Amino acid sequence: MLDDRRTKVLQALVEEYIATGQPVSSNAILERSGLGVSSATIRNDLARLESYGFVEQPHTSAGRIPTPQGYRFYVDHASPARLRTATRSRIEAFFTDVHRELSRLLKETTGLLSDLSHYPAIVIGPGFSGESVRAFHLVPLAGDVVLAVTVSASGRVSQNVVRLRTQPTESELAEAEDLLARALEHETISAALEKVNALPADLIPERVLRVAASVGNALARVDGSIREVYVGGTAQLAELWQDLAHVHTILGLLEEEGSVRRLIDEASDRPSVRLSGEIDVDNVDLAVVSSPYDAGGHGGGRIGVLGPMRMDYRRTIKIVEEVGEGLGESLGR
């Protein structure tokens, strides 16, 4: 597609633009790239790059800025950065030897990530699925509504409000709790549900069975979909976009759990970069750098940051990757 020199010209242009935010002139590329050619040559190359749609001019007689396609090409050809040892050790220290409640750990991870990257950060919690259940409780809330509390083997606590069709008596509820607790013990939720459904219907009062089934179904339904979403570092928004309309739109995105998920949920097993056009978000200058993490037996999730397309990709990708690894290891233990 692009010969070697033109690739270098585009890289220099993107990096210069990322650094300065100003349209980049042929002379600036000359200096940054160190190519031993004249500015006129570079101007010719720029004209070619423009015809390919990688760069554009804000107006005649101005320098060039990258188009989304230009960024895409750059990102796909960029080598990852090396992190300073100070940064690495900060990540390491963060995940070493500190035991925190899961939700707190995830929330604080957004803090770390956004601190290091200087971009707002997103962390999606690891799934529940595949984990066995350590403890289970039913708490009556009101009438036909009960709260099911499940503690997983790794100490995760999940709460679900379940509305039953009928109002159980206290003893029925206790029996159902007992039944489910037994079925769930050291089992995954889906396995336990089968157990419950296979129970001998003649030995257990039907009403109890019905309660247990209702709760079991409710659990199974949410199982796996309880990946909590955490967002941190939103204060950076104002500095990054410098534009109230953009800040408003992005705050709106980050406020709604569903759209946050949509931003970074992706089935890639490596760090990935998504740019405005590729995300289902209209007309916002947006790039999302995300990476999966693997918490060993305890599932895994995804973390990422978002920023304007004019973003330090090489550094950011590396940071997101490393923090993801740290988080995975920390959870995996």
51 binds DNA (CB under 7 A): no
In the chain, DSSP assigns E strands to 55-56, 65-66, 121-124, 133-142, 145-152, 157-163, 229-232, 272-275, 287-294, 300-307
Q: Contact between 255 and its own copies (CB under 8 A)?
A: yes
Beta carbons of 138 and 146 less than 8 angstroms apart = yes
Nearer to DNA, 63 or 292 (CB): 63
Residue 164 tokens, joined? 């039953």
Q: Is 185 in the site for its own copies (CB under 8 A)?
A: no
Contacting its own copies within 118-147 (CB under 8 A): 134-135, 137, 139, 141-142, 145, 147
Q: How far is the CB of 171 from its own copies (least distance, A)?
A: 16
How many C-beta atoms surround the C-beta of residue 40 within 10 A?
9
Q: Which of 239, 270, 282, 283 binds its own copies (CB under 8 A)?
A: 239
Strand 272-275 versus strand 287-294 pairing type: antiparallel
Least Å distance, CB 299 to its own copies, is 16
Tell whether residue 181 is a contact of its own copies (CB under 8 A): no
Pairwise CA distance, residues 144 & 35, whole Å? 75
Q: Does residue 62 belong to the site contacting its own copies (CB under 8 A)?
A: no
Site string for DNA, 9-48 (x = CB under 7 A): -------------xxxxxxx-------xxxxxx-xx-xx-
Environment class of residue 108 by beta-carbon count within 10 Å: exposed (0-12), middle (13-18) or buried (19+)? middle
263 with 252: CB under 8 angstroms?
no
* Residue number, 26 or 114, with CB nearest to its own copies: 114
Binding site for DNA (CB under 7 A): 5, 22-28, 36-41, 43-44, 46-47, 50, 57-64
